[in-house]
Each structure stands twice: as C-alpha cells, then as structure tokens.
Amino acid sequence: MASLEELRAERIKKLEALKQLGVNPYPIESSQSRTLSAVISKFDSLAKAGKIVHLVGRIRAIRSQGALTFFNFDDGTANLQGLLKQGDVSEEDFKRFQDLTDIGDFIQVDGVLFVTKRNEKTIQVKGWKILAKSLRPLPGQWDGLQDVEERFRRRYLDSLMSSEVKERFIFRSKLITAIRAFLNKADFLEVETPVLQPRAGGATAKPFKTHHDALDVDMVLRVSEELYLKRMLIGGFPKVYSISRNFRNEGIDATHNPEFTMLEFYEAYSTAHVQQVMVEKLMKTLVKQLIGGTTVHFNGQVIDLGGKFKVVSYFDLLKRYALIADPENIKHEDLLLKASQLAAKVDKGDSREKLFDAIYKKVCRPKLIQPTFIIDYPKDYLPLAKRLENSPELVDAFQLVVGGVEIVKAFSELNDPIDQAARFAEQDRQGDAGDEEAQKTDQDFIEALEYGMPPAGGVGIGIDRLTMLLTDTHNIREVIYFPTMRPR
C-alpha cells in the first residue's frame, strides 16, 4: 500500500500535468445553477425540461467502466451521481477526467439530468472543469478517522467523512438560532462585552493572562459576561443577552473545555424565581422545536422535559446523597473527612463552599437525571447573588441539572454595593490564601453599582453542554468544532 507521501506526490504530478495542458487547477470563476439539494428536490421537473444545468461539488467516488465513468460528488448540501460518457465530451476531456482527477477534487459539471435504469438520479455530463485539485487523499470511506485525537484535531475531515458529526454541528447552529428567536421575541437586546478585560470577574474561575503592549497593562481573557451585562442594566438597558466565548484556565474533561460558549441574559425588575419559570419554558420550547417532542435520550436514559421540573435545595441533596446530617453546622475538619471518605477531590485549605461543591459533584449531581432545579445555596458559594431575606446565609439562586450535567446557573442579582464589597473582600481573602479561582474585588463594578442597579434576575446557560444533552453526546469536545488540543 502506498504511503501518504507517495500518494501526495502522485497527485502533485497530476497537478503539474493539468498546468502543462493549459488548465488552471484553481480557477477564480465557477458556475452553479443551484445547490444539489435544490436539484434533488425538483429533479423530475428539471429533468423533464432537458436544459443544461451547471453543478459543483467535491468528488466522493469514481467508478470507471470502459467508455463510461460514473462518479459521485457532494456540494455540502447533498450528493449526486454524475455520468461521463465517451462521445458526450471531447476525447481530451474524457481522458483528462480519467487520468487527472481524484476523489477529493472539486469540479464543475455541465449537463442534463436523467434517471438511470437502476433508478439513480444522475447528471449526464456534457462538459466539466476542475475547480480545486486536492493534494491529499481523504480518509477511507469506511474506516474514516479512527484516532479520536486526530478527529478533534482535523475536524474538517471528521465532519466531511461523517454525516453524524456534520449533523451535530448543524443542530448546534439551529439551537443557537432558536435561543436567539426565543429571547428576541421576549424583547431582549443582544449585546457584546469585551473579551480583553483588566480583571476576571463574574465566575469562580482561573483566567488566562495576557499583556497589552501599547497600554503596558496586564489583562485577562473573559471568564464570564456577568459584570459587564449588569453594567448595561445600570446603563438603562432593561433586558440584555449575549452568546459568546468564555475562557477559563482549567482542566479538560468530559464537560470542560478551556474555551466554551455561554448564553447569559439579564432582566431588570425580575427575580431568580421568574427566571426559573422562563428557563423551564425555554427548555421545553427548544426540545419541541428541534426534536419534535418532550423527551430526549442521553447516556442511556430517557429524560422527560414535558412535565414540571423538580425543585430541591442544595443542602437537602447533601443530606440525601452524601449523608451529611447537618450541612449548615458541620465543622470544617468533619467536612474534609467526609470529602475524603467519598473520594471527592479536595485540598486541605479549601473553603467550606469548595468542599461542599466537590462532594456535591461527586455523589449528588450524577443522581439528578430528570430535569431538577437546585435552590438555596450558601452565600459564599455565589458571591454575586442576592441573599434570601428570611435566610441571609443563603442566596436566591438556582442551577438546572439534567442527565447529571449542570446546564444552567442563575440568581437574583446582588445590587447592594455595600454587601457586594463585603462579599468581594471575602473572595480577596480566599484569593490571598491561594485560591486562584476567587472572584477578587472589581472596584469599577462596585462604583457602577453605587449609581444604582435595578433588582434583576440573571441566567447563564452552557451552550456546549446543552448541545451535548440534546444530541446524546458525552464529551464536550464532540460539540465544539475546534476544541482545545495539545500541539503536535
């Protein structure tokens, strides 16, 4: 079997042969009457008309039978068979196609449509030209890309060779379009916030750091949009949303990629409870529009999003699944021991909130298969959320977990600048103690809050994880077209 370099060298010879014949292997112009999907949808009427059509695409298969050459080509919308028949084109064109084209080449074919005796929709070629000569062979039609890392690294081949992969990314695009339509209909305004920021804020995360030479200042890449979108509430925009890339300097696993897409939306004069109702409506709408029902299949489970979503408190989950009898009053050393017993990954210096979170992720969250809202979190767990008026040690917040995966985080937004400053100060203390994910004081944001921010409900939804859920995909890198990879 020839090596890749030998096959590439053979194609380069064909490239040079085309040039010697006076053929430009990469011309500027091409002519396309309509897409292949449009041709197939109106095939009978187009064939009956008998007019010449101009079609384009990438050759996906070639089968030569003496004076006949059958081939299949694909323009990204559909696949069609072509027939090149000796006598229908010049001898030179026929020989040039047989000798100098390869699977993977892009071509234009001009001809008439007909149906073969085997009932195959076909274009009978009357003329053709090369549009782009491919120099590397595509992966095998049946084996494709076997190495998972190479699939992620060369996603363009992955989606080219696998209709399932391609459809997943088409679904993702439709999902984002449907979300935009839902929010736009509810009078939300889509806005943008800076990716380069003077400090990380809005999420408990370790940022990527960079430096701007002209200003001679250190900067970070955005970890969340929250603090900037809330500045827009202060600035007089009552309903805002953004779908954007965030960047967190964290590990890579089944549900984490350092670069990911988030939807965040904020509504003035709203609450976490109001947003909880809206999130449930959004989820039901998306499933109905994109899947055509109320249930999804994920990780071997049938998940019903048609009924009322369950609601459970954070501490009740810890009592039920981690067997922590009194989570509100458990001592730090006892909590550390419990985390060790449950094999939750923690460090000795972790705060109570981090210990609770590690235990929750280890033994509680995987149990939540049907859609479940988790409410009533400790105040230091979400330093940007408003306290419950009747339980000031808890905050008015919720997460939505489906299929054991966190999809949504939301809360009533803290708009008390004095409380916010105190909560930031506690985060500063944790940061000084070594917590690289602490949300340190943003004095500019505190100043903005002092001008007055309306009470508001805010929501963050992980687009990648939502795509995973709705396509029954179990690794986040399968739904990000260009996931973060270690360089070769």
Per-residue model confidence as pLDDT tens digits over 17-28: 999 999 999 999
Give the number of other CB atoms < 10 A from CB of residue 452: 10
Q: Look-up: residue for tokens 């000796």?
A: 86
Please give the Cα distance from 90 to 216 (Å, whole number): 66
Query: Is the pLDDT at 380 greater than 90, yes or no?
Result: no
* Strand 189-190 to 239-247 pairing: parallel
| Mean pLDDT calculated for residue range 273-287 | 98
pLDDT score recorded for residue 14: 98
Mean residue pLDDT across the chain: 95
Q: Quick one: angle between helices 332-341 and 352-359, nearest 10? A: 20
Is residue 246 very low, low, confident or very high in pLDDT (cuts 50, 70, 90)? Answer: very high
Look at residue 340 and give its three-state secondary structure: helix
The token duo for 306 is 């048609």
The token duo for 320 is 């039920």
| Mean pLDDT calculated for residue range 82-109 | 96
pTM of full prediction above 0.75: yes
Ramachandran angles phi, psi of 19, nearest 5°: -65, -40
| Mean pLDDT calculated for residue range 77-86 | 97
Which residues, at least 6 apart from 237, have a Cβ–Cβ distance to it below 8 Å?
Answer: 189, 191
| Mean pLDDT calculated for residue range 124-129 | 98
pLDDT score recorded for residue 304: 97
Beta strands in 341-425 (DSSP E): 372-378, 387-388, 391-402, 405-412
Per-residue model confidence as pLDDT tens digits over 27-36: 999 999 999 9
Per-residue model confidence as pLDDT tens digits over 170-196: 999 999 999 999 999 999 999 999 999
**Could you tell me the domains of the chain?**
4-138 (2.40.50.140), 157-309+371-478 (3.30.930.10)
Query: Is the pLDDT at 143 greater than 70, yes or no?
Result: no
Residue 413: which of 264, 280, 220 has the closest Cα? 264
Please give the Cα distance from 405 to 371 (Å, whole number): 10
Per-residue model confidence as pLDDT tens digits over 196-213: 999 999 998 999 999 999
Query: Is the pLDDT at 9 greater than 90, yes or no?
Result: yes
Per-residue model confidence as pLDDT tens digits over 457-476: 999 999 999 999 999 999 99
pLDDT score recorded for residue 378: 92
pLDDT score recorded for residue 459: 98
Which residues, at least 6 apart from 147, have a Cβ–Cβ distance to it below 8 Å?
Answer: none
Look at residue 137 and give its three-state secondary structure: coil
Is residue 140 very low, low, confident or very high in pLDDT (cuts 50, 70, 90)? Answer: confident
pLDDT score recorded for residue 144: 57
Per-residue model confidence as pLDDT tens digits over 37-49: 999 999 999 999 9
Is residue 141 very low, low, confident or very high in pLDDT (cuts 50, 70, 90)? Answer: low
Query: Is the pLDDT at 15 greater than 60, yes or no?
Result: yes
Query: Is the pLDDT at 142 greater than 50, yes or no?
Result: no
| Mean pLDDT calculated for residue range 420-448 | 91
The token duo for 141 is 């039609």
pLDDT score recorded for residue 435: 83
Please give the Cα distance from 392 to 411 (Å, whole number): 14
Beta strands in 158-221 (DSSP E): 189-190, 196-197, 209-212, 217-221
Give the neighbor-by-neighbor strand order of the sheet with 196-197.
Answer: 196-197, 217-221, 209-212
| Mean pLDDT calculated for residue range 429-457 | 93
Query: Is the pLDDT at 403 greater than 80, yes or no?
Result: yes
